[in-house]
Amino acid sequence: MITAVSEKQLSDDWKSVDLEDESVMVFLQCNPTIGDKVMQAADADFIRVLEDVIDLLIDKSVIQFTELPDPVQNKLLNRRRYREELRNNDDRNNLISGEDESIF
């Protein structure tokens, strides 16, 4: 029986289970607030996958960016800028905190 869920193992007593596991589904159905958060995270992951697929199709010249409707182009450009800003902030934070020990 599942009594809690977490993205990370919080102790040695925690077990990793697949999101599709029946006991996870029952737990999420009984805890709709948690279920909503899990679905939002899954949706965000899926959106990133779609962005990567679109970028791959553009890189391989299967489609051209300009063939996409203007609203789609704008959304993709805004998400690219946002992801780049997040990446830059993470890089700066790693340098400041000393977490990144790699040398280039």
Instruction: Please check whether residue 19 is in contact with residue 38, taking contact to mean a CB–CB distance below 8 angstroms.
Output: yes
Positive or negative CA dihedral for 89, 70, 51, 104? negative
- Of residues 93 and 2, more confidently modeled: 2
Positive or negative CA dihedral for 69, 71, 77, 79? negative
Q: What is the mean pLDDT of residues 14-38?
A: 85
Looking at residue 102, its pLDDT comes to 45
Instruction: Please check whether residue 55 is in contact with residue 80, taking contact to mean a CB–CB distance below 8 angstroms.
Output: no
Looking at residue 4, its pLDDT comes to 81
Looking at residue 87, its pLDDT comes to 85
pTM of the model: 0.58
Looking at residue 34, its pLDDT comes to 86
pLDDT in tens, 44-99: 889 999 999 999 999 999 999 999 999 999 999 999 999 889 888 877 766 655 55
Query: Rounded CA gap, 75 and 50, in Å?
Result: 13
Query: Rounded CA gap, 80 and 88, in Å?
Result: 12
- Of residues 63 and 17, more confidently modeled: 63
Q: What is the mean pLDDT of residues 38-43?
A: 85
As a whole number of Å, the CA-based R_g of the chain is 19
